[in-house]
Structure 1
Amino acid sequence: MAQPNALTTPPPGSDVHMVPAHAAEPAHAAAFPPFETHTFLAQLIWLALAFGLLYWLMDKVALPRIQAILHDRAARLSSDLDEAQRMKSEADAAGVAYETSLRDAQGKAREIAQGTRNELAAEAETKRKALEAELNQKLAASEATIRSRTQEAMGNVRAIAGETASAIVERLTGQAPDQASLDRALDTTATAH
Structure 2
Amino acid sequence: MFVTSAFAEETAPATGAGGDTHSGTAVPGEAHAAFPPFDPSTFPSQLLWLAITFGLFYLFLKKVAMPRVGGIIDVRNERITRDLDQAAKLKGEADAAVAAYEQELAEAKTKANTIGQQASDAAKAEVEAARKKVEAALDEKLGAAEARIASIKANAMKEVGGIAEDTASEIVEALVGGKASKAEVAAAVKSVAG
Given candidates 142, 145, 149, the residue that maps to 2:145 is: 142
Given residue 46 of structure 2, which amino acid in structure 1 is its aligned partner? Q
Of 31, 56, 69 in structure 2, the residue corresponding to residue 53 of structure 1 is 56
Aligned to 2:88: 85
Decide whether aligned partners of structure 1 residues 107 and 71 sit closer, same or farther in structure 2, where only a CA change above 3 A counts.
Answer: same
- Write the letter of the residue equivalent to 1:54: F
Give unpaired runs (5+ residues) of structure 2: 1-8
> Which residue is 1:74 aligned to?
77
Moved over 4 A (4+): 7-11, 14-19, 29-33
Matches of 1:157 and 1:182 in 2, distance apart? 13
Q: Please give the TM-score of this superposition, normalised by the length of structure 1.
A: 0.71
State the AA in 2 paired with 1:40: F
Q: Distance in 2 between matches of 1:92 and 1:51?
A: 57
AA aligned opposite 1:65: R
**TM-fit CA distance, 1:187:** 0.9
**1:102 aligns with one of 86, 92, 105:** 105
Secondary structure (helix, strand or coil) at the match of 1:93 reads helix
1:75–1:9 distance in 2 versus 1, CA, 3 Å: closer
Give, in whole Å, the separation in 1 of the partners of 2:112 and 2:22: 119
**Over aligned residue pairs, what C-alpha RMSD do you find?**
3.4
- 3-state SS of paired residue (2:73): helix
Paired AA for residue 139 in structure 1:
L
Post-superposition offset of 1:117? 4.2
Distance 1:119 1:179 in 2: 68
Matching residue of 2:37 = 34
2:6 matched residue in structure 1: none
| Corresponding residue pairs, total | 179
1:175–1:76 distance in 2 versus 1, CA, 3 Å:
same
Identity between Structure 1 and Structure 2 (%): 44
Distance 1:181 1:9 in 2: 191
Note closer, same or farther for the CA distance 1:132–1:166 as it changes in structure 2 (3 Å cut): same
Deviation at 1:121, TM superposition (A): 4.2
Please report how far the alpha carbon of residue 33 of structure 1 lies from its aligned counterpart in structure 2 after TM superposition: 4.8
Native 8 Å contact 1:169 1:176 kept in 2: yes
More displaced 10-residue stretch of structure 1: 105-114 or 129-138: 105-114
1:9–1:18 CA contact under 8 A, matched in 2: no
SS of aligned partner of 2:136:
helix
> Structure 1 residues 188 and 66 mapped into 2: Cα distance closer, same or farther (>3 Å)?
same
What is aligned with 1:175?
178
